Structure 1
């Protein structure tokens, strides 16, 4: 079904979140890890930066060419600096499939600047982590709705009995009295009820979310399930929406007609539409689908979790192979102490390669993910690091897996030998179309090394 994504975007203009989104911040283009010169308007007369205090921690103030500047960190996204300016930080390597990467990065959760909003455009992919954000946003908006009181509307209710309420219907009363042989009154009156369009749309969205989360047993989701159940219970007496009430145009109409004291319904209905119609959000670029708090992505963590998921899924069919996370211990983890044994009284640092691949219980390949383009020869510090990993895990093949691959290069290349260790350059083109082919090629190249 084609969905008119612009209808609600026009309706929410200036309402709810949109009232904060009306700040016309001038965008400053930036790239993660780069140093950006600041416009003079961002520097106060005392030399300090005119930047929101809670945002200042996201980058490092510095000087460049004798001018005030900021050193961007690894965050990608829209970062409001003050009411007039915002950083739009893009990735330092071409990533045409960002939503897919975030969706496959198991365990990764984006950061949210809840005080600051931005417009989001539509995207095809719907990462689970972003879906969690939408769920929380709907629940938060509904809490405000509940605090302000559910909207109710008057509807005509007809009663039959000996105690009439409202206007008596003489013809119907006389006919039923004659038929039953006793006095019967048919009366009609208007009663206020929460069972009407906007509330039915919200209940529909909550029930759809419950169906999604109810079977998930992760501890992190239990609180969401409890809040969803509470929201449905608060909407007791509210029925299922009519087909005509769940179109984007109908939801936009509900928002247009909101009374001023029920502004928070705009936020709740906006997010409910995204959930009902399975609309994904584009992490980059502005659009008119929704106005929500700004979402920031740590691309280094996303890339690491993404490639681990790609290899784990691709090699799963071979029961002899196990792909582990060297950043953690316990089940599925492979973290080790550096020294074994260690001199008495010394603290033993951890060894945490991003990916450890075992075959029949023996480590065959250790991989460290590097979110940067692949050089012809890996950087010396990176080689030192991964060779140490190989020595500790007893793996004679080690790899530095980079984000980016030129067409003429293979997914894996042997760089050379360091003692007993073969050092490989691994590469994956995050801008590939289709990205699934690139993922398959990487899996097959890694399989040949095991």
Structure 2
């Protein structure tokens, strides 16, 4: 039975009756949620009030009730933003949600879906690997199951009436499902060995691969394996439900793809929880860096290289999200704000960044909601010019929107007060 889904938007409050969260008379929330801060909880008037924080996605509260947190801004392609930003979403292993079969290429799928693959493969190993009758490539005579009808049919089709030959197959675990599982495990183990050698997933993958030694390695093209696996998943026997999730994880890993996060459909995969504000910030920085490089500018993350707030003390530092340089000198600052409009405190914060880093041009980047447009805010008495730029996340073509955003940044750097 599918869990009940309660929908809300980021930073929105919702009330849940206590009885819905009781299991055997005790209040039990999924520990993966309570320890990560995906939702803030408080008790009010006999009800538990939950407040969505900066995360979006389908978040399980118990086995029977979940909360789907939607982004405040309409985002046409969240998976594309994830890939471009490099931000790793959290995959809650064992809790699935639906996706349409739309995928986006990524280079860190092993980190996201590796745990799901390992856990699913462990369950398969515990229950036993599936087998089917397979014709071996170099069969030994007089072994396996006699398939007289198949042999006769094959030769009759060629006009051969008599043939001194027996056709046979052998019960083997070298099915496409197990071969793909083995290939995905090898790829996951290799990725973690290269990027995170201390992760226990490496040892777990080795143990499962040891159990898979009777399964043949795939010798053909990777694309052929992916194609055959996709066909077999859709026709998987109802008697093998424990194979379905790890095979979908294998398909994603072998293709190096992420599911299209913003859509719901019939493909069941681990629920992804996304820190949308961090994705927005990193995505803008990546896009701007690529677009401004041909114009002689470099774009850096001020959070990684903070600047001192005071010139005579380094106790306090400033951390602008986007630092724009030319010829090694800082020329402008931008702060990504995933909110409809910056507040007064936000303006003071950016002005303090500009003062500390000695620049006269700066501003905000916010998602465009409805008819919001980029605009010039004004100039302070000390000569600091502040702008408010918008980036539309709801457009069908994010590349075109990134080009427009970069053009507005170039206008800001040139001192223009009008934007497109």
- Once residues 256 and 396 of structure 1 are traced to their aligned partners in structure 2, the CA distance between those partners, rounded to angstroms, is 65
The Cα offsets for residues 380-420 of structure 1, whole Å up to 9 and x where unpaired, read as 1111111111111111111111112554723x534332523
Matched, 1:113 2:92: yes
Matched, 1:439 2:415: no
The Cα offsets for residues 148-178 of structure 1, whole Å up to 9 and x where unpaired, read as 5544456677547xxx9899xxxxxxxxxxx
- Once residues 43 and 135 of structure 2 are traced to their aligned partners in structure 1, the CA distance between those partners, rounded to angstroms, is 70
> Which ranges in structure 2 are unaligned for 5 or more consecutive residues?
146-164, 414-420
Correspondent of 2:326 among 328, 337, 359: 359
- Once residues 220 and 78 of structure 1 are traced to their aligned partners in structure 2, the CA distance between those partners, rounded to angstroms, is 27
Matched, 1:394 2:358: yes
- Per the TM alignment, residue 325 of structure 1 is displaced from its structure 2 partner at its CA by 0.5
Residue 30 (structure 1) aligns with = 8
Matched, 1:52 2:19: no
- Per the TM alignment, residue 25 of structure 1 is displaced from its structure 2 partner at its CA by 1.6
- Per the TM alignment, residue 131 of structure 1 is displaced from its structure 2 partner at its CA by 6.0
**Residues 66 and 317 of structure 1: CA distance in aligned 2, closer, same or farther (over 3 Å):** same
> TM-score normalized by structure 1?
0.71
Contact kept? 1:196, 1:238, Cα under 8 Å: no
**Residues 368 and 278 of structure 1: CA distance in aligned 2, closer, same or farther (over 3 Å):** closer
Aligned length: 383
- Once residues 363 and 306 of structure 1 are traced to their aligned partners in structure 2, the CA distance between those partners, rounded to angstroms, is 21
- Once residues 396 and 405 of structure 1 are traced to their aligned partners in structure 2, the CA distance between those partners, rounded to angstroms, is 28
Residue 196 (structure 1) aligns with = 175
Matched, 1:404 2:368: yes
- Per the TM alignment, residue 326 of structure 1 is displaced from its structure 2 partner at its CA by 0.6
Larger Rg: 1
Contact kept? 2:363, 2:389, Cα under 8 Å: yes
- Once residues 292 and 408 of structure 1 are traced to their aligned partners in structure 2, the CA distance between those partners, rounded to angstroms, is 35
**Residues 361 and 225 of structure 1: CA distance in aligned 2, closer, same or farther (over 3 Å):** farther
The Cα offsets for residues 157-212 of structure 1, whole Å up to 9 and x where unpaired, read as 7547xxx9899xxxxxxxxxxxxxxxxxx9999765433333233345567x58xx
The residue matched to 1:366 in structure 2 has which SS?
A: strand
Residue 323 (structure 1) aligns with = 299
CA RMSD of aligned residues (A): 4.0
- Per the TM alignment, residue 340 of structure 1 is displaced from its structure 2 partner at its CA by 2.6
**Residues 272 and 97 of structure 1: CA distance in aligned 2, closer, same or farther (over 3 Å):** same
- Once residues 266 and 246 of structure 2 are traced to their aligned partners in structure 1, the CA distance between those partners, rounded to angstroms, is 16
- Once residues 123 and 22 of structure 2 are traced to their aligned partners in structure 1, the CA distance between those partners, rounded to angstroms, is 37
The residue matched to 2:174 in structure 1 has which SS?
A: coil
The residue matched to 2:294 in structure 1 has which SS?
A: coil
- Once residues 115 and 166 of structure 1 are traced to their aligned partners in structure 2, the CA distance between those partners, rounded to angstroms, is 39
The Cα offsets for residues 233-270 of structure 1, whole Å up to 9 and x where unpaired, read as 85564444796981644344454464xxxx64333323
Contact kept? 1:200, 1:239, Cα under 8 Å: yes
**Residues 188 and 325 of structure 1: CA distance in aligned 2, closer, same or farther (over 3 Å):** same
Residue 228 (structure 2) aligns with = 246
**Residues 443 and 227 of structure 1: CA distance in aligned 2, closer, same or farther (over 3 Å):** farther
Correspondent of 1:384 among 339, 348, 356: 348
The residue matched to 1:114 in structure 2 has which SS?
A: strand
The answer to which of 87-96 and 65-74 deviates more is 65-74
- Per the TM alignment, residue 359 of structure 1 is displaced from its structure 2 partner at its CA by 0.7
- Once residues 83 and 148 of structure 1 are traced to their aligned partners in structure 2, the CA distance between those partners, rounded to angstroms, is 23
Correspondent of 1:271 among 249, 271, 275: 249
User: Following superposition, which runs of at least 4 residues in structure 1 exceed 6 angstroms of deviation?
Assistant: 164-167, 186-190, 221-233, 241-245
The residue matched to 2:310 in structure 1 has which SS?
A: coil
The residue matched to 1:283 in structure 2 has which SS?
A: coil
Contact kept? 1:195, 1:239, Cα under 8 Å: no
Contact kept? 1:122, 1:280, Cα under 8 Å: no
Contact kept? 2:248, 2:269, Cα under 8 Å: no
- Per the TM alignment, residue 355 of structure 1 is displaced from its structure 2 partner at its CA by 0.7
- Once residues 97 and 190 of structure 1 are traced to their aligned partners in structure 2, the CA distance between those partners, rounded to angstroms, is 47
Residue 92 (structure 1) aligns with = 72
Contact kept? 1:165, 1:187, Cα under 8 Å: no
- Once residues 140 and 340 of structure 2 are traced to their aligned partners in structure 1, the CA distance between those partners, rounded to angstroms, is 74
Residue 123 (structure 1) aligns with = 102
Matched, 1:424 2:374: no
- Once residues 408 and 135 of structure 2 are traced to their aligned partners in structure 1, the CA distance between those partners, rounded to angstroms, is 70
The residue matched to 1:92 in structure 2 has which SS?
A: coil
Residue 275 (structure 2) aligns with = 298
- Once residues 123 and 299 of structure 2 are traced to their aligned partners in structure 1, the CA distance between those partners, rounded to angstroms, is 45
> TM-score normalized by structure 2?
0.76
> Which ranges in structure 1 are unaligned for 5 or more consecutive residues?
1-22, 168-185, 329-333
